[in-house]
Homo-oligomer: A and B are copies of this chain.
Amino acid sequence: MEYKSDVQPKDNIREATNKIINAHTAGEVVIIVGECTVNYNGSAWTYLDLGKRSVRINPSGAVVVSGNKSVKPKNWQTSDAKTDIKLDDDNELVIESVKNSDDSLLIRFTNVLKSIHYDPPEKNVEVEGTENDLHNKLIENPEYIEDGLNITEHEKSVKTGDIDLFGYDENGSDVIIEVKRRKAQIKNVDQLNRYVKTYNENARGLLVAPNISDSTKEYLDSYDYEFISIDISEIFDKK
């Protein structure tokens, strides 16, 4: 019997468990399909009744129980958990992943249909654009926000948090800027207000985002802050 090889439908639960334990111990990614129940008890509690599911165990110890519709898993345990795999007395494959002593995910397979194991690659090259990239673009080109604007600080720390962008306008007034790469929300106005009140009551408050809803705009207006619309595609020069 090849102990690290994938589980086949003909394998009994004991063989399946051995193969899975050996693959996990060898540092491989393990994906299991079978009939299982799932119990989570921690910051919430969840119980999934016996059903066919797939479970992924990363070498890091992260465990993911996938649903059949969403991107988001049904249950999971992050990689700071300790994950243990064993065959219990009832001949069930048990995966127990525990964090902080009172946060546990317990998966019981009564039947393993098949599995895949594979060596993860060392490291893959990844490239992406983040909110910080947007900050940098705006620092390089403050005219996207306003002509004559001078940005002097990035992530300026004040008592109640960090101001995304800080500077002064052509009249020399302090300008406090909160940047969003998505539609501005009411809580972003709260955040901006917190920074203005904390740093300088008389500063201008700018909320910079691609767009804003009417109700949020109304709330922003009630504070006499300003909304600046930006075109993300233009700034990143996409296509």
Contacts and interface: CB of A to CB of B under 8 A. Distances in A.
Given A6-B114, A49-B125, A219 B160 contact: yes
A231 to B, nearest CB: 13
A109 interface: no
B69 A79 contact: yes
Contact of A190 (B43, B51, B124, B191): B191
Interface size class of A (residues with CB under 8 A): 35 or more
A76 B72 CA distance: 10
Contacts of A128: 44-47
B187 A191 contact: yes
B186 A187 contact: no
Given A54-B116, A116-B31, A186-B161, A44 B129 contact: yes
Interface string A43-86: 11111110111101011101010111111011011110000000
